[in-house]
Structures are given as C-alpha cells and as structure tokens.
C-alpha cells in the first residue's frame, strides 16, 4: 500500500515530520500539492503570496526530483482529490502537517471527514510552530493574552526537538494519474508586476537555509541595535520562508541555540532574535484560541469605535501618497518588495487605524494581498496591535508620531530617500516633515508640495485629538 503526503504551507523536505512518517510506512509515498483557493474563503493567498507560491513549488519540484520523486499537482476540493488519488495509487494512509489557523483548520477538517468515509487513515503531524497552543496555559488555566508571561512559560516548559535531516531518497508509486502542470495553477500575475519581487527574493528551501546561515554568521551580533532600523539590513527577512514552511521553526531555533552554545554569537543578541520567533508562536497561540480575530477585535469594545469610511484616503494610504514620508516609504516598499520592515509595519498600521481612523481590517486585507510573508496569525497579531485592540497593544490614544519615528529609526534618511525619491534632496531636518520646510528650501530641493509630493492627508495634532475623542466614546 502507498501513502499520500499532502503538502500545503510546508514546502520543504528538511525537518518534515509528515514526510518522515510517510516514508516510515511500508509502501511508496506520493507528495502532492492541491490548489483550492476557494476553500480558504477570504484568506486564500493574495497576489504576492501566489507569486511566491509558484516559485516555491518550482523549487520543491527540483528538490524532490533530486531524490527520485515528483510533486503531484492537482486542483479542486481537497477531500475529493485526495480520495480519488488514494484510490488510483492504492494508498491507505494520508499524512499532513497540522496547519493551524481557522481558514486551513476548517478546510482540513472537511477533508478529514471525506477521507474517513473512504476508510483512509489520516495522520496529522506537528512542525508549523514550536509549541502546542492547547498545552501552554496561564497559571489559572486558559490562553495567554500578554506576550511576556507567555514567553516566560514557553521558555520554561516547551521542549523543542532537534530538526531531522532531509531524506536521501523518496520512492513514489510506479503509476500515478496525470496531474496538472504548475503553469495551470495560474499563480503568476498578468500583467507582470512582480519585477520587484524577483529582484528581492529567492523563494524555496535552499534560499531559506542560505538566508538563515547569513543571519547567524553576519547579522545576529548586531541584531538588537539594527532590528529597529529600516535603513539597514538588520533583520533576517526569513518571514516569507517561514510563512510558506520552506524552513521549519525548529531549524531556526536550533541553528541559533547552537551558535549560542558554541560561543559563536553574542548570546543576548541571539536571544533577542529568538524572542521575535517567540512572537510568531504567540500569534499562533492567539489565533488558535481566538479564531475570530482575523476580522474581529480581541478587545470587543473596539467594534464600537466610530471607524470612518473614506475610500479615497484608503487608496492614498495604499499607494503611499499620504504626505507623511516614512508612512509612504513603507507602503511603497511593500508594493515593490512584498515586504516591509517591522518598525515601519507598526507605523503604517497605526497610521491607518489611528491617524485616519479607518478600519484596521482594511489594512490587514491590503497586507494580505501584497505581502510575500502574509501569514494569518502574524498579520492578525500585528494589525490588532497596531490598532490598539489586540493582545499587548498600546492604548488607542497612544499614537506613533510618524515624523519622530522617521528621525529616530532612519536617522540619515536613507530609507525615506530610497522609497520616496522625490524628497531625496530635502535636508534631513525637513525630510520627515516637508510641510514645515520654508519655500526656498523646498525650491532648492525641487519639491512643490501638492504637485511633486502630496500635502499631508491629515494634520497630526488634529488626528490625535480625533483619535482621543473616538476612544473616549468607547472607553
Ligand atoms: C501590521 C503588521 C502586520 C504584520 N503582518 C505579518 C505577516 O503577515 N506575516 C509575518 O510573518 N509577520 C507579520 N508581521 C510581523 C513582523 O513585522 C514580521 O514578521 C517581520 O517584519 C518579518 O521580518 P524578518 O523575517 O526580517 O523578522 P526578524 O526580526 O528577523 O524575526 C525573525 C522571525 O520572527 C518572526 N517575527 C518577528 N517579529 C514578529 C512579530 N512582531 N510578530 C510575529 N512574528 C514575528 C517572523 O517569523 C520573523 O521572520 C506584521 C507586523 C505588523 C505590525
């Protein structure tokens, strides 16, 4: 008898429990990927994620081919397809990785029911995250809502197993029905807007491992000083690789832990990095316990905040035309690279929710479509934090000042000048507040406000007062 391995957002062969379990079964193994975006509702992969997925699947095909296997591609209802394929290759068992998150959990549960009706054995394995959200509990029982105690308990109690090597060979069934071709999944954009993504990223498992090695060898020591600086390559940029499961969190964890044990890195900086990986765990912890939070605030009273509807302002925000240089730089980086630095994600997110009082869900949807690392747990955590309605969030009336954020975290203005080149010749003093520049300074920098670069979409002081009074109505 054969086994099926249903791959989804675990597109790797290294440290893959479901693959190892399938290989431990007596017969051959058929790895497969099913494209069924309609089964994920509003959270089917967005445009940038689809681009990533195409290239990640291509990379996985090559990895499997090196081991004598091919990746079967199919479209349609997962339960039905798995059932048909199991029949065709004479499989009695299906393995997959526990996906977590409400959209995939619902889909997988439906598939499991269909497979149970056909008397197929289903085995679901760990590997997406490091902890079991049902097992890490507060001292009084129940889920955590605050990061630091969660992280303390995690570190005290969670045992992270060492990663397992990739198999050297994978025997697949001798006769497999024809699947579809990668191009048939139609994942690449038309017209082609992905040149910025191509310039920036190397999707796939090999790219993920190479990035991890670079981080540990070159970036970890400076991580604590550099992680808040969007103008330098101070963070790992591992997020899309983790989102698509091209590298396991265990692999990241142990590569860093070993570097600490070997004395190869500054332990404090390395632990600071692992703490960020801990935020990913926390995001999954929350979405597991509060599956409504991709669209509903964790703190319910925020539903009643007088959110505004202003499609023109939303569009200016999306296009990076708000007139606040750091905000615009971030949103333009997102459009070009499919990624934004974390500090700037916080600034643009809070700007949408607090300065503009636009529903945070609209920002989350835009990120979902444009991020290569779109991950429902992390995106939900980040947006609820930015809007003040989530776990560990700052109160709503505490607002980032986008001007001083730019001055503090991009001190030479290199980040803003890169992404907002029309302001490149402004002196540092006015770079983050061009509306304060005297006319002769603007003229010298060749900037006409309202023409070359927008006037601010809102006055910072008025926005602050508006946010405060909105909050007073629900506080
Ligand atoms: C509004 C908003 C939306 C976000 N949406 C996403 C998203 O869709 N997908 C996503 O992966 N992250 C998201 N984040 C979290 C964070 O910004 C990114 O994980 C981080 O910027 C990725 O860059 P990196 O890999 O260089 O991070 P590093 O600093 O190198 O951190 C290493 C890894 O730790 C995890 N991590 C780091 N910071 C966070 C964090 N604050 N929350 C959760 N996990 C974290 C990521 O997996 C990251 O790859 C969002 C944050 C905000 C404020």
The pLDDT, as a whole number, for residue 276 is: 98
Select from 271, 378, 379, 405 the residue to mutate for testing ligand 1; criterion: most ligand atoms less than 8 Å from CB: 378
Please tell me the least confidently modeled range out of 274-278, 397-401, 447-451.
Answer: 397-401
SS3 at position 276: helix
pLDDT of residue 393: 75
Give the residue whose CA is nearest to atom 24 of ligand 1: 237
Residue 64's pLDDT band, with cuts at 50, 70 and 90, is very high
pLDDT value at residue 46? 98
Residue 381 alpha carbon, nearest atom of ligand 1 = 42
CA of 425 to the centre of ligand 1 (A): 32
Residue 475 has pLDDT above 80, yes or no: no
According to CATH, where is 1.25.40.80 located in the chain? 129-162+206-289
Mean pLDDT calculated for residue range 358-379: 98
Label residue 26 by pLDDT band (50, 70, 90).
Answer: very high
- Output the six-digit token pair for 128: 């997406």
Which CATH homologous superfamily contains domain 2-128? Answer: HUPs (3.40.50.620)
Note the pLDDT tens digit of each residue in 127-152: 999 999 999 999 999 999 999 999 99
Degrees (nearest 5) of the Cα angle 149, 155, 161?
145
The residue-averaged pLDDT of 69-93 equals 97
- How does pLDDT run across 249-280, given as a tens digit for each residue? 999 999 999 999 999 999 999 999 999 999 99
pLDDT recorded at residue 398 = 86
The pLDDT score that the predictor gives to residue 187 is 98
- Inter-residue contact 231 to 225 (CB < 8 Å): no
* Ligand 1, pocket-test mutation among 236, 272, 280, 334, most atoms within 8 A of CB: 280
Q: How far is the CA of 342 from the centre of ligand 1 (A)?
A: 6
Determine the Cα–Cα distance for residues 122 and 156; give it in Å rounded to an integer: 32
β-sheet with 121-125: strand ranges across = 72-75, 29-35, 2-7, 91-97, 121-125
For residue 431, pLDDT beyond 90: yes
User: In ligand 1, which atom is closest to the CA atom of 223?
Assistant: 29
Q: pLDDT band for 394, please (50, 70, 90 cuts).
A: confident
Q: How confident is the model at residue 439 (pLDDT cuts 50, 70, 90)?
A: very high
CA-proximal residue: ligand 1, atom 46 (nearest):
239
* Most ligand 1 atoms within 8 A of CB, residue of 224, 232, 256, 382 to mutate: 382
Nearest CA to ligand 1 atom 30: 236
Minimum CA distance residue for ligand 1 atom 52 = 382
Percent of the chain with pLDDT over 70: 100
φ/ψ of 390, rounded to 5, equals: -110, -165
In the predicted structure, residue 429 carries a pLDDT above the cut 80: yes
Residues 6+ apart with CB under 8 A from 84: none
- Residues contacting ligand 1 via CB (< 6 Å): 227, 235-239, 242-243, 276-277, 279-280, 283, 342, 345-346, 349, 367, 371, 373-375, 378-379, 381-383, 386
User: Residue 38 pLDDT more than 90?
Assistant: yes
In whole angstroms, what is the distance from residue 322 CA to residue 105 CA?
A: 38
Residue 70 clears pLDDT 90, i.e. is over it: yes
Q: Classify 300-474 by CATH class.
A: mainly alpha
Ligand 1 atom 11, closest CA: 239
Percent of the chain with pLDDT over 90: 96
How many angstroms is it from 463 CA to the middle of ligand 1?
A: 27
Across the range 280-284, mean pLDDT stands at: 98
Whole-number pLDDT of residue 397? 82
For residue 371, the model assigns a pLDDT of 98
CATH code for the part of the protein at 129-162+206-289: 1.25.40.80
User: Residue 396's pLDDT band (boundaries 50, 70, 90)?
Assistant: confident
Q: What is the pLDDT of residues 196-213, one digit of tens each?
A: 999 999 999 999 999 999
Asked if the model's pLDDT at residue 183 lies above 80, the reply is yes
Rounded to whole angstroms, the Cα distance separating 354 from 289 reads 26
Question: Which part of the chain is CATH 3.40.50.620?
Answer: 2-128
Whole-number average pLDDT of the chain: 96
> Residue 110: helix, strand or coil by DSSP?
helix
C-alpha dist (Å) from residue 402 to 110, 237, 379: 45, 23, 21
3-class secondary structure per residue, 408-440: HHCCCCHHHHHHCHHHCCCCHHHHCCHHHCCHH
For a ligand 1 pocket test, name from 43, 373, 409 the mutation site with the most ligand atoms within 8 angstroms of its C-beta: 373
Residue bearing the CA closest to ligand 1, atom 35 = 277
pLDDT band for position 189 (50/70/90)?
very high
User: Cα separation of 30 and 71, whole Å?
Assistant: 7
Contacts of 384 (CB under 8 A, 6+ apart): 293, 297, 298, 360, 390, 391, 393
Ligand 1: centre distance to CA 378 (Å): 7
3-class DSSP state of 91: strand
The string of pLDDT tens digits covering residues 293-338 is 999 999 999 999 999 999 999 999 999 999 999 999 999 999 999 9
């Amino acid at each position: 008898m054969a086994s099926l391995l249903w791959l989804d957002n675990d597109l790797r062969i290294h440290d893959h429990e479901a693959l190892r379990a399938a290989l431990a079964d007596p017969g051959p193994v058929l790895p497969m990927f099913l494209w069924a975006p309609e089964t994920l509702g509003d959270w089917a992969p967005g445009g940038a994620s689809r681009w990533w997925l195409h290239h990640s699947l291509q990379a996985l095909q090559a990895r499997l081919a090196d081991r004598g296997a091919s990746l079967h591609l199919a479209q349609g209802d997962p339960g039905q397809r798995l059932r048909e394929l199991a029949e065709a290759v004479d499989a009695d068992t299906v393995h997959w990785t526990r996906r977590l998150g409400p959209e995939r959990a619902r889909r997988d549960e439906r598939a499991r029911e269909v497979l149970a009706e056909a008397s197929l054995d289903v085995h679901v394995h760990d590997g997406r995250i490091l902890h079991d959200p049902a097992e890490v509990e507060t001292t009084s029982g129940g889920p955590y809502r605050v990061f630091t105690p969660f992280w303390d308990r995690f570190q005290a109690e969670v045992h992270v197993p060492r990663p397992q090597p990739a198999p050297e060979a994978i025997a697949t069934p001798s006769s497999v029905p024809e699947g579809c071709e990668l191009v048939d999944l139609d994942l690449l954009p038309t017209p082609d807007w992905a040149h910025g993504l191509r310039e920036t990223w190397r999707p796939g498992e090999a790219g993920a491992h190479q990035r991890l090695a670079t981080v540990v060898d070159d970036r970890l020591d400076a991580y604590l000083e550099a992680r808040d600086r969007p103008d330098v390559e101070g963070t790992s940029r591992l997020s899309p690789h983790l989102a698509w499961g091209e590298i396991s969190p265990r692999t990241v964890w142990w590569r860093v832990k070993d570097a600490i044990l070997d004395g190869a890195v500054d332990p404090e900086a390395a632990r600071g990095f692992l703490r960020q990986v801990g935020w990913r765990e926390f995001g999954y912890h929350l979405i597991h316990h509060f599956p409504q939070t991709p669209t509903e605030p964790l703190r319910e009273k925020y539903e009643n905040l007088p959110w505004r509807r202003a499609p023109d302002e939303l569009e200016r925000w999306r296009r990076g035309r708000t007139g606040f240089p750091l905000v615009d730089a971030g949103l333009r980086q997102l459009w070009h690279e499919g990624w934004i630095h974390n500090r700037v994600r916080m600034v643009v997110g809070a700007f949408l929710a607090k300065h503009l009082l636009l529903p945070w869900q609209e920002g989350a949807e835009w990120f979902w479509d444009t991020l290569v690392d779109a991950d429902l747990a992390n995106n939900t955590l980040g947006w609820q934090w930015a809007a003040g309605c989530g776990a560990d969030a700052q109160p709503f009336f505490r607002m980032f000042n986008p001007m001083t954020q730019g001055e503090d975290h991009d001190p030479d203005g290199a980040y803003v000048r890169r992404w907002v080149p029309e302001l490149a010749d402004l002196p540092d003093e006015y770079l983050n507040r061009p509306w304060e520049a005297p006319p002769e300074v603007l003229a010298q920098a060749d900037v006409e406000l309202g023409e070359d670069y927008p006037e601010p979409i809102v006055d910072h002081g008025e926005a602050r007062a508006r946010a405060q009074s909105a909050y007073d109505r629900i506080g």
